[in-house]
Structure 1
Amino acid sequence: MRSSSFTAAIAAVLILLIIQTTAEIKNMKISSDSRPIILFEKFGFTHTGHVTISVSDVSVTSSVSTPDPSRLGFFLLSDESLIQFLIEMQQSPNLCVLDSRYINLLFTFNKLSPPPISSFNNSFPITTPDEYNLVFGNCGPESEVTMNVHTEIYNLDSGKGIKDYLSAGVTQLPTLYFIFSLAFFTFLTIWIYILFTNKNSVHRIHFLMALLLLAKALNLISAAEDKHYVKVTGTPHGWDVLFYIFQFLRVVLLFTVIVLIGTGWSFLKPFLQEREKKILITVVPLQVLANIASIVIGETGPFIKDWITWNQVFLLVDIICCCAIIFPIVWSIRSLRETSKTDGKAARNLAKLTLFRQFYIVVIGYLYFTRIVVFALKTISAYKYRWVSNAAEEIASLAFYAMMFYMFRPIEKNEYFVIDEEEEELAELALRDEEFEL
């Protein structure tokens, strides 16, 4: 193996750690690719799992020697063997990855039919249940590979023998997403009823919040249908397009609503300041970029050369957006604190200050949980229970939406704004104490 094999092995391990379990019937084109390791799929198998691989139009070229077909091939690598595999590559940097004792070799290119056909098609049963990575290894010196690859990875239902193209850890997702879509549709119905019964207290932001609930519910039902068709047929039948559309709308609306609430739009003032407009102008395009990256990642796969770059771009953009939406809330808190010291309506401003502080904590908690805790659950949970992280994310989203909508609900006597004379006096004392402490 070339001197870059150890570096390639490290990169492969990093990819295997961050890639999510996905599977369906896929057709992939590899063109003049010299990478020593190419990851195609990651899948959780039961004892009835199968891998079907078909390669065609294979061409291997090398500028230094005649390509050896036995030095190129496909293999399976379990997550449990990743560390041992990496140690082995470190201890033996010249070892061909196809000769590693920690891989399950499927076939090498010496199994290909002779030119000009140069193709191979076979199905391999999985005897040991585990989560495996389907990988292509190229140990030829300066060899470039061109080929078409068709893969079908599935588990068989032990009772009926029906193919299940979803991994053992996510086969429950169609039902899970459908249940949560019903929950958000119910949420939307309740919200519309609240708007209808409190017409005099409804602000523009409340209609935008209704659109957010609708986008979230449609996003979940599209995700449920997408996963269902992948599960039973291996292809999404166009539901992935609707999923990406509603996901885009949901994310943009969510960040927009958080920014507008954080600036006090409709509640404290009917207009946005220049710096707040800049936040919206920054966050929305960045979310467009993030969703484009998400679509590229979802529709291609880890076998493309720039897959890691797209993941890094998506992560960076997401972090920037999460940080950006915090600033309007902090500005509102600071503005309310200053206003409370000079405005005669001390209690009302103090109540608003308390409200925005609570909202700040809720937003931070939601972002922390969905970006860090959910990722940790995906990483540490056994592959058979990978769906738990998805359930945790949706539960956290439902709880966040419920708290946000409850805090800013359109009712005449909101608990944050109902102030009597006694509370007014106590608020003034509290503000004087706070000013004295500062």
Structure 2
Amino acid sequence: MGTSVAVAVAVAATAALLLGRVAHAEIKTTSIVSDPRLIILFEQFGFASGGRATVSISRAAWQLRRGSRLKSVDPNLMGFVLVSGAQFPKVNNQTEYAAADPPPGGGGGGFCVLTSDFALPVLRLNDVAPGGASTTVTIDDPDEYAVVFSNCQDGAEVTMDVRTEMYNVRRDASGGIRDYLPVGLQPLPAIYAGVSAVYLAFLAGWVWTCCRQRATAERIHAVMGALLLFKALKTACAAEDAWFVERTGTPHGWDVAFYVFGFFKGILLFTVIVLIGTGWSFLKPYLQEREKSVLMIVIPLQVIENLVLVVIGETGPTGKDWILWNQVFLLIDVICCCSVFFPIIWSIRGLREASKTDGKAARNLRKLTLFKRFYLVVVGYLYFTRIIVSAFLAVLNYKYQWGVNVAVEGASLAFYLFVFYNFKPVEKNPYLYIADEEEEAAGGELEMDDGAF
């Protein structure tokens, strides 16, 4: 059962990582040092027919772990296999049957992924010469495959340098071109280039609007413009990252730019939500202590979250603590998402209390309506991009994984359009300038609405 759980968790974690990164390098060198794990997941890749996976091993060594009940290590029981998405449930069932009937004495023996009839063998450590070894497997059945190292000896440790290279082959007049993007992510360069162009146009329109309404533009509008700029830069780097990975197998530094601009975009996004939620610039020119506290919590958490994202993106699933880092990332993200709700709720309650004392019912009703709508949109946006999309990815065919990226970017654009339209600089803002004849009707609506939040 331990092996089954290890494979399942590793595959699920890798799927979740697709939401955090654009495209990871499909040529990767990984060092494994004194690792006793029975299962190590290296990569997942969506292959078309004729795609190829190359695994190269150098500096391979093995030893008994301290306290092991084994008498020696058999390198023939350690090696690499490819497991397809179609065959994974069958491999999982085999591990469960083996766990229900374990071999006497434990240690070696019993079922192992390396010996499964449903796994495609690649290379065993006993075939690795002192100078290293390399094997290339051609994929005949298109599917998403996981490159897995399997150690059939509980108590043995392995040390090695592993280079994995996975690609599909696009036929042309010259014979064939290597495409290092998985089948399901091949449209990404065009998608992100288009998204970047949309946000640059959005930014130009926003700057034009702020210049036209310079007299009513507030400081928050400059912060919102900076958010659009970093969003456009992040998606432009995502397009270049995916384009270079597609052609060369490595991002050539564009992943670093992607992380940097993503870092500033993440901080600005949550800062804008918090500042708008508190009513800063729209309702009052200052922040209360409790609202400053929320910012002082959210911003450092965003810094930590982006650092964790870099760790899990660069180490990959081969890292011993990779799943733990993913859990930390999700926990921090949830805390940030929950924290931004409080300022919005405080603003809604403050407006309701003010409506009872300042005699400006219509103005407060419109502000209240706006902030309630803003609250619901923020909840919907965060819920969709954090939960719904993850569930969508879990059931989506590997050929259409790009659809998840389109869904996330579409939801983000819709969210940005709502926020920027409703909080744009305009003369005689309808939420701030109300005709006297609307007061009486508004007062009755506020009384009816007094129970919410």
Tell me the TM-score normalised to structure 1 length. 0.95
Corresponding position of 1:50: 52
Query: How far 1:345 sits from its partner (Å)?
Result: 1.3
Residue 257 of structure 1: how far off its partner (Å): 0.4
Aligned equivalent of 2:77, options 56, 71, 79: 71
Does 2:432 align with 1:417? Answer: yes
1:97-135 CA distance string (max 9 Å, x none): 21112211112122111x4x3x21121111110000000
Q: What is the SS of the residue equivalent to 1:92?
A: helix
**1:387 counterpart = 2:382:** no
Equivalent residue for 1:107, pick from 116, 123, 137: 123
CA shift at 1:159, angstroms? 3.1
| Separation of aligned partners in 2, 1:253 and 1:8 | 42
- Cα distance, 1:416 vs. partner? 3.1
Pair 1:95-2:120 in alignment: no
| 1:17 is aligned to 2:32 | no
Q: 2:229 — aligned with what?
A: 214
The answer to whether the 8 Å contact 2:180/2:246 transfers is: yes
Q: Which residue identity does 2:5 align to in structure 1? A: I
Give the conservation status (yes or no) of the 8 Å contact 1:174–1:228. Answer: yes
**Residue segments in structure 2 that go unaligned for 5+ positions in a row:** 19-23, 100-109
TM-score, scaled to structure 2: 0.92
Q: What is the CA deviation profile of residues 205-258 of structure 1, one whole-angstrom value per residue up to 9, with x for unaligned ones?
A: 000000000000000000000111011001111111110000000000000000
Tell me the alpha carbon deviations over residues 31-62 of structure 1, each in whole angstroms, 9 at most, x when there is no partner: 00000000000000000210111100000112
Question: Once the 2 structures are TM-superposed, how far is the Cα of residue 72 of structure 1 from its aligned partner?
Answer: 0.5
The answer (yes or no) to whether the contact 1:31–1:147 under 8 Å persists in 2 is: yes
Counterpart-to-counterpart distance in 1, 2:451 and 2:126? 82
Letter in 2 for 1:27: T
Give distance in 2, aligned partners of 1:433 and 1:169. Answer: 51
What CA distance in whole angstroms lies between the structure 2 residues aligned with 1:131 and 1:415?
A: 53
Q: Where does residue 29 of structure 1 map in the other structure? A: 31
Q: Distance in 2 between matches of 1:71 and 1:218?
A: 48
**Structure 1 counterpart of 2:309, from 281, 289, 294:** 294
Task: Determine helix, strand or coil for the equivalent of 2:86.
Answer: helix
Mapping for residues 240-255 of structure 1, pairs under 5 Å = 240-255=255-270
% identical aligned pairs: 50
1:325 — aligned with what? Answer: 340
Deviates more, 1:66-75 or 1:258-267: 66-75
1:3 equivalent in structure 2:
none
Aligned to 1:396: 411
How far the C-alpha of 1:23 sits from its partner, in A, is 4.5
Shift in Å at residue 437 of structure 1? Answer: 10
Q: Which residue of the partner structure matches residue 147 of structure 1?
A: 160
Assess if the C-alpha contact under 8 Å between 1:34 and 1:145 holds in 2: yes
- The answer to whether the 8 A contact 1:44-1:131 is kept is yes
Deviations 1:120-152 (A, max 9, x none): 112111111000000000112411000000111
In the TM superposition, what is the alpha-carbon distance from 1:373 to its structure 2 partner? Answer: 1.6
Q: Which one is further off, 420-429 or 338-347? A: 420-429
Q: How does 1:322-401 map to 2 (within 5 A)?
A: 322-401=337-416
Paired residues in the alignment total: 430
Any conservation in 1 of the 2:312–2:325 contact (CA below 8 Å)?
Answer: yes
Would the aligned equivalents of 1:75 and 1:106 in 2 still touch at CA under 8 Å? yes
Map of 1:39 onto structure 2: 41
Q: CA deviation at 1:377?
A: 1.9
What letter is aligned with 1:69? P
Q: Secondary structure at the match of 2:135?
A: strand
Matches within 5 A, 1:185-264: 185-264=200-279
For 1:137, what is the secondary structure of its paired residue? Answer: strand
Q: CA deviation at 1:418?
A: 4.1
In structure 2, the residue matched to 1:430 is 445
- Deviation for aligned residue 1:434: 4.0
Secondary structure at 1:416 match in 2: coil
CA distance in 2, matches of 1:144, 1:125: 29
Deviations 1:140-174 (A, max 9, x none): 24110000001110001133511111100001101
